[in-house]
A = this chain, B = another copy of it.
Amino acid sequence: MQISDAEWTVMNLIWESQPTAASDVIEQLAETHAWSAATIKTMLHRLVRKGALSATSSGRKYIYSCRVKRADCVLHASRSFLDRVFGGDTAPALLHLVESSKLTADQIDELKKLLDSMER
């Protein structure tokens, strides 16, 4: 199962607000993207068919929930991305990503703590 670019937007929103009705999803995505309701409904329908989302009837509305864990999807997508773009060698990728990111002092500290813990 592969989540497409546009579908990630939908999934992220539902991960953060599930369980949620289509009308809510549509309302929020219409604000941030130039998608018609029809487009969003199609994406929801396809995600259900793919097995990423489940829909349970509530009256005639469907309430959507995620059937896959965000962490699992993120991990899979991340690995796939790193493999593809960096040929599987993680470290140069991370160096590059860190270098090109704007991080706060707190965030830098947090990363350093994480690296410390990995060293032991």
Contacts and interface: CB of A to CB of B under 8 A. Distances in A.
Interface of A: 5, 8-9, 12, 71, 74-75, 77-79, 81-82, 84-87, 90-91, 93-105, 107-108, 110-112, 114-115, 118-119
Contacts of A86: 74
Given A81-B81, A85-B78, A86-B74, A99 B112 contact: no
Contacts of A104: 91
11 contacts: A8-B84, A77-B81, A82-B97, A90-B97, A91-B103, A94-B101, A94-B107, A98-B111, A108-B115, A108-B118, A112-B112
A75 B12 CA distance: 22
Per assembly, the copies of the chain total 2
A90 B98 CA distance: 9
Contact of A115 (B12, B74, B98): B98
